Amino acid sequence: MTIEEYFESPRIRSIGTALLIVLFFVAYLLTLGERPLFIPDEARYGEIAREMLASGDWIVPRLNGLLYFEKPPLGYWLNSASLWLFGETPFGVRISSALSTAVAAITVFAIGRMFFASRSVPYLATFIFLTTLEVQATGNYGVLDPVFAAALNIGILAMAASSYSIGRRRFGLLAVAGVFFGLAFLTKGFLALALPALVLTPWLLIRKEYAFLIRHAWVTVVFAVLTIAPWALAIHLAQPDFWHYFFWVEHIQRFAGQNAQHKQPFYFFLMFLPALGFPWIFLLPATLKGLRDKPAPQTRDGAMLLLVLWAIVPFIFFSIASGKLETYILPCFVPLSVITAVGLSSLVLSKRAIRVSLVLALLTVILFSVALAIFVAKADEVVFTSDERLKQIAIFASLAFALAALSYAILTRNQVVRLVSIGLSMVPFLIALPLSMPEATLMRKAPTAFITQTYSQVPEDTVVVANGSLVRAVSWGTRRADVFVIENGGETSYGLESEDGRGRFLTADDLKRLIAEKESVLIFCKGPCNEATTAVLPPNTESTSYGNFYAHLTRSSASNSGDAAPDMKSP
């Protein structure tokens, strides 16, 4: 019996809907706030949103009170709203990523229902999407990519659907497409205009929709401009240099510059695709067999061509770009999930047809588990302390579950159970991960609790200083936007060089004078402070550390003679 035949039953479809909702809650919301914020991304996007909420300035993004022009504001607006609703917590920083993933999942369901005459494809595609490793990882992390991907994919779907419509419905879909392309632009910039054009233009030309491009596409352009224009004009009036920096530095240099951030080779995404697309990428042979033999029938001419372009064009685009991060190809997983579902829905997944694919996936988990065990046992530094045995057990138990689920998928004859076992194989691991994060990892990636605790032990009028690598986390941990920066500007360099940032960067001599003038100065560094900084610290400096994070408190002689504050204590 095929997957499609199972879903002929209304009862199965109702159960499928309920299980997808439960899956989203368990995999995306249950442990969303358990892990402290990681640097650099989560601390950055949390702090910019917090400062917007505190200042009431919704036009100009600022980090530590300094101009920050790397991204437009929509992601910050959403984070500000969630911080207002849920408090200044890790959950508040991440919830927009989780909800954007839910919106993307609904988009996947809509594509399956709109473009294919299949009962199973919408449900299976949504399940595949929500259980893909890249999707689940980004949906539980406080970054902007899920927001961007959701808006971009809705826009592409709306514009594609408009080409099959007429009259008011076509106009409405074109308008919706424009609004969502505008929202994607307000999240990550010009990519929101380039990617849809690269996907949809060749698709329409191949289908000989010349009249549509000439007579109707302008509606989408107009609504995109109307969505973008109010903020675009406001930021230009408030900060005329924004568009120059944002276009040339954040787009052109990042795409083609030799000194681009996150520079990686062309094959970077291909190299990581088995991990990012796990476990479904291993079913590629079975998917291709299903697409060749008996794919679900299309209800719209050119639907499969659209999905192929939708998946491949952004992948190639980001592969050509100089700067690359694993999250950049997140938009590709919406069409890939539907393509996979179409290929699998009508295929009888016999043991012979799927054995090799699942054995490869099983071997991947085994190799990962063995490598992790060797790393834990042989690492130069302790990974799990003696007090973290339960964490270690939870991690390896979740990997054992993955092995059991994939093994069962090989053995079972039930098609639905097989696919459910494959999809759920890594969910317990990704749930266990934030709950079982080793202290050694937190001591490298999560300084905010250390910063907050240290700051709580010093006088309220203490001046706070941080090196550029840690300033975003220090601003979040102290709830201050007036932190002085030392050693290097990091990503606040542009803001420090602007008129508003004058005097905020301190040389070693500046720091020495500040220490002499102020009652108390609290200095944070990621890694040991450099020699120029430590050379100006007075002999009575109190120091503490947490892993790779260091704090130094200087007090004036008058302050030391009284009972101004207790000594700093390590966490």
| Token representation of residue 495 | 């803001």
How many CB atoms neighbour CB 254 within 10 A?
20
Q: pLDDT tens digit string along 121-163?
A: 999 999 999 999 999 999 999 999 999 999 999 999 999 999 9
| Token representation of residue 471 | 């300033």
**Torsions phi, psi of 66, nearest 5?**
-105, 145
**Interval 39-67 mean pLDDT:** 97
Whether the model pTM is above 0.75: yes
Q: Bigger pLDDT: 379 or 440?
A: 440
Q: Which sequence spans correspond to the domains of the chain?
A: 3-30+69-345, 351-438, 447-561
d(CA 394, CA 415): 29
**pLDDT score at 349:** 59
Q: In the structure, what pLDDT confidence band is assigned to residue 558 with cuts at 50, 70 and 90?
A: low
Question: Using only C-alpha atoms, what is the Rg of the chain?
Answer: 26
Task: Evaluate if residue 68 carries a pLDDT over 70.
Answer: yes
Task: Evaluate if residue 435 carries a pLDDT over 50.
Answer: yes
Q: pLDDT tens digit string along 289-308?
A: 888 887 778 888 999 999 99
Q: Nearest Cα to 121, choosing from 352, 307, 361, 281?
A: 307
Cα angle for residues 399, 401, 405 (degrees, 5° grid)? 120
Q: Which of 177-186, 291-300, 409-418 has the highest mean pLDDT?
A: 177-186
**pLDDT score at 238:** 97
**Interval 399-414 mean pLDDT:** 93
Task: Evaluate if residue 566 carries a pLDDT over 70.
Answer: no
Q: In the structure, what pLDDT confidence band is assigned to residue 264 with cuts at 50, 70 and 90?
A: confident
| Count of residues in the chain | 571
User: What share of the chain in percent tops pLDDT 90?
Assistant: 81
Give the three-class secondary structure for 31.
Answer: coil
Task: Evaluate if residue 463 carries a pLDDT over 80.
Answer: yes
**Interval 372-392 mean pLDDT:** 87
CA dist list (Å): 293 to 26, 286, 345, 348, 349: 36, 10, 11, 11, 13
d(CA 257, CA 413): 53
**pLDDT score at 43:** 98
Within 8 A by CB and 6+ apart from 196, the residues are 152, 155, 156, 159, 177, 181
**Interval 53-58 mean pLDDT:** 97
Are the C-beta atoms of residues 93 and 142 closer than 8 Å to each other? yes
Three-state secondary structure of 138-194: HHCCCCCHHHHHHHHHHHHHHHHHHCCCCHHHHHHHHHHHHHHHHHHHHHHCCHHHH
Task: Evaluate if residue 285 carries a pLDDT over 90.
Answer: no
**pLDDT score at 565:** 45
**Interval 162-178 mean pLDDT:** 96
Helix or strand (DSSP H, E) at 434: helix 427-435
d(CA 218, CA 280): 38
Mean predicted lDDT score pLDDT of the chain: 93
**pLDDT score at 64:** 98
Task: Evaluate if residue 323 carries a pLDDT over 90.
Answer: no
Give the three-class secondary structure for 274.
Answer: helix
Task: Evaluate if residue 557 carries a pLDDT over 90.
Answer: no
**pLDDT score at 218:** 96
